[in-house]
Structure 1
């Protein structure tokens, strides 16, 4: 009996570590990077705005706004007017990543006893609408949100990731300054917040049901029987599971990239900033291996298409888009990925922001696509860094960038020289 008691204590401790305690930011950043490499090796890099835009496309299509030639432009129908399966929210890779990500965050929140319906003050709903619109516009200009436009873009050795980073920082700082002014001068709509708590036992049931549901959906994709897109759909099983693991990891570590930009200038805390820098560096190493690889050296194809996440936004589009997105993310209280895992834990403000993010990004991207903005170089250039510098110098550049970022934020943590005063 004593041995069983000890074993039970070990099980409870393991559950607490895996499901209830907040994970260390550095460990979380490393896990996010490893899962990012894993999903790249499985099929493609992950992102948040691909899902969010697909949902916006889907809403606008069903509302009759995307029809005729526009429906063909955004990929819902072919030239014969037939529906395209891969634009469905259940079969589009981006959408599956987003749904899996939210499901993973939901499971994490429920198993940790952290899920609740959190209704914000009235003013926050207005900010959520504005924030969602700004994030959608910024992500369209930059060629992605903080994930696809910056984190995975730099990690995939694309110059446009650096352009968005340059815009994100002042955008976040401007958003922080506006929040300070809001606290100082605006009192309207500060009331009305409340939280609907869910008993832990119910949350535990929901969490277990979420795990079962994810496994069932992955099995459905893996065993899909059909005449068309079979290989495509069966591969969605791995996409779903890895995305759920990303959502679980980021919710458990409360890992938000915008926090890595905000906290050094708000409180001086640099833990998240260091974690993001380290995570980007690890992803870059993994992407270099997958995009170069043994096959490439022997004259074959690399594991991962080198042009993945290389966008024609290395220029004003990336910088201005980053600024607008950073401002929107500050008003929303979460970036692209941060918004999705907060949706999964019941943050109603983000439930409002994400649909506006979806629709604004969908409309902007459709407009850009109709006139080939990116292809004609209106937003900037396509630049895959190894094409210009070679793989060695590219990796040296990313290492130097992450090292300087690390040194600056740690120096600021000790000196508080870069704090933005209230």
Structure 2
């Protein structure tokens, strides 16, 4: 598409080579900080729920609650354009292909997505909004979610290893790939990628040209969704791997990338919360401080995190990992997204009230760590936990003590 020269070198550095995952983690952290300044930090699960509610309404099922249209829901649009961004990046890098896994894997994708929906709604957060964003937002519930993810991932991984031995036929069968970027006559992929970028920029301009402030915010979610999806696909940033690999291969690449991304986000979020940056005219200082701090500390987050950990390991992608892999053309992850979309409204209506009803308030409270430790103490605690995580995964990478393979 570009002839040899500086522009071609720039294009190749972005789309011809995979990025180190830690580079993706740092750039994603910067974009998360921007999202906080614009309106609210990065999250995904509420967007899935909104899409699900709209889907059920189209089908005439209104008993699961009504919701605002997808076109007016910032997080739902962010999710959609993360998929578009990953699709664009995979087209420009000629890595797109419709990849159909065996039927057993497709079923596992759907089941994993449904479990993630239950876990995210019960635990009031997924790996993105609840953990990655939540830890940086100094939420005590985010730390409990992380423990739940760890336990759920460990149990699900043990099940998958057992399944490979005892029930190998479940995942056996042919894999099919269509429209992949290898071979001749693949130039259409890059042309389509550029056309989609132009289309997204047009949509962005339409939203931001509005005099309505809410429309401008939605427009920026459209644009940043595109960029997030492209970065996720090029760096293959994966929170599932951060929890899974220490128990599987022992590789520390993904955990270190996630630790770095949380660290950078922590700096930005702490400044925003401490000084009340962003939306200061609309919200009180306290309201800004409590963003991304949910009523899930401690047992509610632990239960939800465990269920979510099961689901993301079975599906092979978390809430955001599902989106960018779907954008690459993985049908198993489309099944995961469908399971998440379908189950999220059902869980919000039928499962979450039950769990909240049986748990005492002390086990599902909002815990903003600076309230009990001060900002300095809260930041030091999070830094200490990140350091312990880093030391563990590097030690385990070297020794293989907790690795199954």
**What is the TM-score with the length of structure 2 in the denominator?**
0.92
SS at match of 1:46: coil
Residue 43 of structure 1 contacts residue 239 of structure 1 at CA under 8 Å; is this kept in 2?
no
Q: Distance in 2 between matches of 1:174 and 1:10?
A: 50
Residue of structure 2 equivalent to 1:331 = 314
Large movers: runs of 4+ above 4 Å: 298-304, 368-372
- Which deviations, in whole Å up to 9, do the C-alpha atoms of 1:131-182 show, x marking residues without a partner? 1111111111111111111111111111110010001011111111111112
Residue of structure 2 equivalent to 1:22 = 18
Residue of structure 2 equivalent to 1:95 = 76
Give yes or no for the alignment of 1:254 onto 2:236: yes
Q: Distance in 2 between matches of 1:292 and 1:364?
A: 35
Q: Distance in 2 between matches of 1:370 and 1:93?
A: 25
Q: How does 1:352-363 map to 2 (within 5 A)?
A: 352-363=335-346
Residue of structure 2 equivalent to 1:309 = 292
Pick aligned residue for 1:204 from 162, 177, 190: 190
Q: Distance in 2 between matches of 1:64 and 1:191?
A: 37
Residue 19 of structure 1 contacts residue 112 of structure 1 at CA under 8 Å; is this kept in 2?
yes
Pick aligned residue for 1:273 from 250, 255, 258: 255
Q: Distance in 2 between matches of 1:391 and 1:182?
A: 46
Pick aligned residue for 1:220 from 206, 213, 222: 206
Give the deviation of 1:202 after TM superposition. 1.4
Q: Distance in 1 between matches of 2:61 and 2:276?
A: 47
Residue of structure 2 equivalent to 1:80 = none
Give the deviation of 1:370 after TM superposition. 6.3
Give the deviation of 1:420 after TM superposition. 2.7
Give yes or no for the alignment of 1:397 onto 2:381: yes
Q: Distance in 2 between matches of 1:257 and 1:369?
A: 24
Give the deviation of 1:94 after TM superposition. 1.0
Give the deviation of 1:319 after TM superposition. 0.7
Give the deviation of 1:106 after TM superposition. 0.9
Give yes or no for the alignment of 1:344 onto 2:327: yes
Residue 44 of structure 1 contacts residue 304 of structure 1 at CA under 8 Å; is this kept in 2?
no
**What is the TM-score with the length of structure 1 in the denominator?**
0.88
Residue of structure 2 equivalent to 1:40 = 36
Residue 41 of structure 1 contacts residue 303 of structure 1 at CA under 8 Å; is this kept in 2?
no
Q: Distance in 2 between matches of 1:144 and 1:419?
A: 27
- Unpaired runs of at least 5, structure 1: 77-86
Residue 122 of structure 1 contacts residue 193 of structure 1 at CA under 8 Å; is this kept in 2?
no
Two-structure CA RMSD over aligned residues (Å): 2.4
Q: Distance in 2 between matches of 1:205 and 1:137?
A: 39
Residue 107 of structure 2 contacts residue 335 of structure 2 at CA under 8 Å; is this kept in 1?
no
Residue 97 of structure 1 contacts residue 240 of structure 1 at CA under 8 Å; is this kept in 2?
yes
